[in-house]
Structure formats: C-alpha cells, structure tokens
Amino acid sequence: MNLSKKFIFLGLILIFIITSLAMFSFASEEKDYINRALKLIDEEKYNEAVGELEEALMVVRSKANLEFVNVTFTDEEAWGFGMYNQREDAIFAQGETFLIYG
C-alpha cells in the first residue's frame, strides 16, 4: 500500500473513532444533566435542579419522534378551545389543505 493510501486509511479510522466517541458522549448527555439535577436536589438547590432537568428534557425531546395524540380532522379552523366542527371523514383530494384539532 503506498503512503497516500495509508494516510487515507488512517484518516478514515480516526474519523470512525471520533464519531464513535461523539455518539457515546451524546448518549450520556441527558444522564449527565439528570445526575447534576439529583446532586442539586440533595443540596436543596431546587431551582437549579429544575434548570438541569429542563436541559435533559430538551435533549430527550430532540431525540424523540413527533407524535400526535387525541387529534381530529376539522372542516375549518377552530375558533376557540374545544370549539370546532369535526370533519365527517378523513378522505382528502390531492392538494387539499387539511386542518387538525388536538
């Protein structure tokens, strides 16, 4: 193997190692926030603990899939809380705008 191929090969190995380490550190990021929050709770620093838990929640939410629960299709925009006209079916024409209430 010539010298340039060795450098490319070593570079790829280095990239793989760095990527693997980065993924490991990201996986434990939310745990770090939670552990810091637990320590702050033991110290009765509740407001600071809330901040750490909110950071952990943001990390977890960024990894979670978007889900819609308890939603319904409507005929028009809702005009207030609980005030909507439920659509009779979930059949839409191509290009038709659909509205949901949840």
Q: What is the pLDDT of residues 47-102, one digit of tens each?
A: 999 999 999 999 999 999 988 888 899 999 999 999 999 999 989 999 999 899 98
What is the per-residue pLDDT across 13-36, written as a single tens digit (0 to 9) for each?
777 777 766 555 555 788 999 999
What burial class does residue 61 get, using C-beta atoms within 10 Å of its C-beta: 0-12 exposed, 13-18 middle, 19+ buried?
exposed
Whether residue 31 is found in the same domain as residue 47: yes
Residue 46 has pLDDT above 90, yes or no: yes
Whether residue 25 is found in the same domain as residue 72: no
In the block, which residue shows the tokens 């319904």?
Answer: 72
How many distinct structural domains can be found in the chain? Answer: 2
pLDDT of residue 12: 75
- pTM summary value: 0.48
Structural domain range at position 41 = 3-63
Whether residue 48 is found in the same domain as residue 11: yes
